[in-house]
Amino acid sequence: MIIVTGGAGFIGSNFIHEWLEHQDEPVINLDKLTYAGNPENLSVFQGDSRYKLVHGDIADTALVSGLLNEYRPRALINFAAESHVDRSIHGPGDFITTNIVGTFHLLESVRGFWDTLSSDNQAAFRFLHVSTDEVYGTLAPNDPAFSETNPYLPNSPYAASKAASDHLVRAWHHTYGLPVLTTNCSNNYGPLHFPEKLIPLVILNALAGKPLPIYGDGQQVRDWLFVRDHARAIMRVLQDGQLGETYNIGGNQEKTNLSVVQTICDHLDRLRPKPNGESYRTQITFVKDRPGHDRRYAIDASKIKQALGWEPQETFESGLAQTVQWYLDNPQWVEHVASGDYRRWVEEHYGQ
């Protein structure tokens, strides 16, 4: 079996769906259930003996060591993090606490468990750390895309905290021999995405008749990857990745923010036309730019493609069409997230 941390969030929950749809190996999901953790993302697996949610913090070494010793997983995949750049600008403390200190405690718990394993089990064990392309900083328009050898130049508190966690993971491999793998992925999108991030926020604001906020001139570029393609890449790295190596993951789908928002509007104009016949594009509103806003991210994914044979299955066009349709098809999920009802569910099931 494997342990996943942060599996109630956007990427972790999509990963667990992808995992359990294709195999029977059980998953324990350790999640603190912050505002970003939504157990409803995995409600389809309630009562499934292959899945168990444990409410807890990666920094709780007693809890994590207890879980490791009880379930004796062959791998742990660390998705747990504070993940939103804007929140990191308003309040960086939680990012330091979870992304840096939390990762440190998690590494120590895993190292304590790993030290007790037989040499065969030690060799087979994997700690896979899920990280971001934002650790590499920002690119000028004609710069080559980020490769694994780019220097770390993080610009936001979020990016700096993820960079620090990557360094800890690297050091635990070099110093203690912990069998680690790290992945650095570009911007994800898809179903179950919390509507504080650009794509789900724009879909839901558009449907609610609210402004679609574009920071600055909207010419910032992100390299978008469909979340299930990310999940499949992580599985390939877990299976065949070289210990101590990092793998960049990206969809080679660079788009400006303005064009992303316009494309979402075009999908909605087709799928859910407004009664007054106006385009959703009329709701686009330019707002004050994000401080320190990185201009361009782009990933060179040739290493994972060549070494592990991974390729994304979705283009931005096909993935975005599925994503917009998913939000239209799941009004109950949207309503629970928008109203905060998913928090009530967490309170009822997990107390404080």
Q: Which residues bind ligand NAD (CB under 6 A)?
A: 5-6, 8-12, 30-34, 36-37, 57-59, 79-81, 83, 98, 102, 130-132, 162, 185, 187-188, 194
Least CB distance to ligand NAD at residue 155 (A) = 15
Least CB distance to ligand TYD at residue 245 (A) = 24
Residues 294 and 156: beta-carbon distance below 8 Å:
yes
Residues 113 and 65: beta-carbon distance below 8 Å:
yes
Which stretch in 3-11, 109-117, 142-150, 215-223 sits in contact with ligand TYD by CB under 6 A?
215-223
Residues 297 and 139: beta-carbon distance below 8 Å:
yes
Binding residue (CB under 6 A) for ligand TYD from 42, 128, 139, 198: 198
In sequence order, the 6+-apart residues with CB closer than 8 A to the CB of 17 are 42, 44, 228, 231
**289, two tokens:** 């730019």
E strand map for the chain: 2-5, 27-31, 51-55, 75-78, 126-132, 180-185, 188-189, 212-215, 221-223, 225-226, 246-249, 254-256, 284-287
* Binding status of residue 197 toward ligand TYD by CB under 6 A: yes
Helix (H) or strand (E) holding 332: helix 331-339
Question: Of the residues 158, 280, 297, 342, which is catalytic?
Answer: 158
Binding residue (CB under 6 A) for ligand TYD from 129, 222, 255, 267: 222
Sign of the dihedral through C-alpha 162, 40, 25, 226: negative
158 included as an active-site residue: yes
Size of the site for ligand TYD (CB under 6 A): 12
Least CB distance to ligand TYD at residue 197 (A) = 3
Question: Of the residues 31, 57, 134, 166, which is catalytic?
Answer: 134
Which stretch in 22-30, 104-112, 208-216, 322-330 sits in contact with ligand TYD by CB under 6 A?
208-216
341 included as an active-site residue: no
Given ligand NAD, ligand TYD, none, residue 85, with its beta carbon under 5 to 8 Å by kind, binds ligand TYD
Tell me the C-alpha distance between 74 and 287, whole Å: 47
Helix (H, G, I), strand (E, B) or coil at 283: helix
What mask of x and - would describe binding to ligand TYD in positions 156 to 195, judged by CB under 6 A?
-------------------------------x--------
215 included as an active-site residue: no
Binding site for ligand TYD (CB under 6 A): 85, 187, 197-198, 201, 213-215, 220, 222, 257, 290
